[in-house]
Amino acid sequence: MSTAPEQAPQTGETPPAQEPAFGWTPYAEIINGRFAMIGFVLLLVLEWVTHQDIFTWLGLR
């Protein structure tokens, strides 16, 4: 007899992927951060192309 514990046979199935949920979930925070980074870069490009800041571009000055 061996003293090694027996392991359950593995079926080869992977657990289902975590689906997006409502609220402050890690998935939602990652997506929100990515959109924020894209928006910030687009704002920098807008200011660089027009040579005006966002307040002037929106007509607030």
Do 57 and 46 touch, CB atoms closer than 8 A?
A: yes
The predicted structure's pLDDT at residue 20:
62
Q: What is the DSSP string of 9-50?
A: PP--PPPPPPPP-SSS-HHHHHHHHHHHHHHHHHHHHHHHHH
Do 34 and 28 touch, CB atoms closer than 8 A?
A: no
CA 53 to CA 60: how far, in whole Å? 10
Q: pTM of whole model > 0.75? A: no
**Span 32-52, average pLDDT:** 95
pLDDT band with cut points at 50, 70 and 90 for residue 38: very high
